[in-house]
Amino acid sequence: MRKLTYYVGTTLDGFIAGPDGQFDFFPFEGDLAAALLAEYPETIPAQARGPLGLDGVANQRFDTVLMGRATYETGLATGVTSPYPHLKQYVFSRTLTQLDPAVEVLATDPMAFVRDLKKQDGAGIWLCGGANLAGQLLEEIDELIIKRHPVVIGSGIPLFDAPFRPDGFKVTDSRVFNTGAAITTYAKETNIPTLLRPTTEADLDRVTAVTVDEPVGWIPADRYLEELQEGMYRPEWTWIAERDGRVVARALWWGQATSEHPVALDCLYVDPSVSDRAALGAELISAGLRAFAEQGATKPPLYNLTLPNGWREDPATAAAADWRRDAALAAGLTDVVERLRLEWTPEAGLPASRGRLVFTEGTDEEFLDVFRRIAVGSLDGETRRNLVAMGAEATAREEMDFYLSCPGERSWWRIARTPDGQVAGLALPSATPYNRNVGYLGVVPELRGQGYVDDVLAEITRVQVEAGAELITATTDTDNAPMAAAFARAGYRTAQTRLIWSAPEPSSAS
């Protein structure tokens, strides 16, 4: 992979130019000048190459140069529109227009552009400056070559213009010249040990400072803080990876306010500067899962990733999902299901009921029996896996226990029956900590294919609307086409897609 090198001259007090961008005070003479011309001839601009005898001299290190607007405008002020015609030239600016066909002006994110550029064939990439662009690209800089001149100017443009965030480099070469100048080469420190740990209250500011700029669902600071107060996020369920004191990865596990253990991993972040994001993500997930198991969790929390509809068609979203998928699989969450998240709002209208079913209360034993019957032949991926691993009885019990643990009321549950009293299915309106939802619905195998699912869904929707719901959510597997079609007929629209990874259930035979 190509390297990004920040090759630049500085003063003793760390400035690359004066306050107005001037740099003519830097000496260029003696053995330092000879070394620069021999080793870095491509960094000499076109207007100086002839006088310095560099016409026709081959590039030594770089074939590409990156410039910020102010750096490029230094040449423009003297009428030079293509300062390095012997290199591929890119200028990052949201205000400049392209003035020379040899110089490509980019208004895109420098980080994303450089990551892609590194994957392409070619020689080294020279970051020419200035400080703002260097600050934006700090995470992607692989090497620093600093020409430090024996000059102090007191104020000016710094080497980097970036927020405070320590980043380690190690010296790989250093030379001092007879002028008193020195060239020091630094490589990004890649062997910094990584510390994986749960957070404490003292970490709160650093935890909430993390932002995810990829096009996937994530947990912003305000939501995290609100649900932290309610006990749905907790410091001991929030894990971070640190390198040299910097947070480079974060995992947020979520649970009910009354939960003893977390239910799901809601947000996984790994800093883009990490070379193998999936590997570090897997390490962090695994560390959390081990800790939860040691604390008595009998089932590993699953991992929910929320994605926009059509996510596979967007390269950025697909890439963000891919490394998270690899992390989940490597951490042992190898069962995956893709689900649709659906929403009903009043604009859709109340789905019509044909009055073919009556809905009655029932005992826990009666509900458990219907759960057991509905599981047979189900198209729901998790139910099918659980049937194989645990059998019908344990699958039904786990399903029922889950809905009993939800914020919805047990008193809302109904058994659907035909007018002659035959059990047709279940209608379990429920709720999340955020809104009312469909919960669970199903039809017994012997009555499937007769449209009863529409009647059950209409009843659940009616109950929720009469309770004042303005938004009703639901989920179903993308593979469960009949259920997705029933939701569509009832006016539910697909709002998002979710990928859900979970640990395989141990076989009931083992």
Instruction: Say what the pLDDT of residue 275 is.
Output: 81
Q: Quick check: is 507 in a domain? A: no
Rounded Cα gap, residues 24 and 84, in angstroms:
19
Q: How many C-beta atoms surround the C-beta of residue 190 within 10 A?
A: 10
pLDDT at residue 509 is higher than 70: no
The per-residue pLDDT of the chain, averaged, comes to 94
Percent of the chain clearing pLDDT 70 (strictly above): 99
316 and 357 housed in the same domain: no
Both 387 and 274 in a single domain? Answer: no
Last residue of a domain, one of 131, 158, 188: 188
Note whether 229 and 254 are same-domain residues: yes
Mean pLDDT of 123-129: 96
Tell whether 193 is covered by a domain: no
Predicted confidence (pLDDT) per residue in 333-385, tens digit: 999 999 999 999 999 999 998 999 999 999 999 999 999 999 999 999 889 98
Q: Are 97 and 72 contacting, i.e. CB atoms less than 8 angstroms apart? A: no
What pLDDT sits at residue 507? 60
Domain coverage including residue 255: 200-332
In a domain, 247, yes or no: yes
222 shares a domain with 249: yes
Q: Does a structural domain hold residue 436?
A: yes
Which of 332, 363, 390 delimits the end of a domain? 332
Q: What is the CATH number of the domain that holds 408?
A: 3.40.630.30
Query: How far is residue 282's CA from residue 196's CA, in Å, rounded to a whole number?
Result: 11
Indicate whether this model's pTM tops 0.95.
no
Q: How many domains does the chain have?
A: 3
Q: Are residues 317 and 234 in the same domain?
A: yes
Choose the final residue of a domain: 166, 188, 210: 188
Tens of pLDDT, residue by residue over 209-267, are 999 999 999 999 999 999 999 999 999 999 999 987 889 999 999 999 999 999 999 99
Residues 132 and 155 both lie in one domain: yes
Question: pLDDT digit string (tens) for 278-292?
Answer: 999 999 999 999 999
Q: Mutual orientation of helices 315-330 and 277-294 as an angle, nearest 10°?
A: 40
Same domain for 363 and 286, yes or no, is no
Residue 340 lies in a domain: no
Residue 509 lies in a domain: no
179: left (phi over 0), alpha (psi -120 to 50) or beta: alpha
- Indicate whether 140 and 241 sit together in one domain: no
Residue 321 lies in a domain: yes
Indicate if 144 and 59 belong to the same structural domain: yes
pLDDT value at 453 more than 70: yes
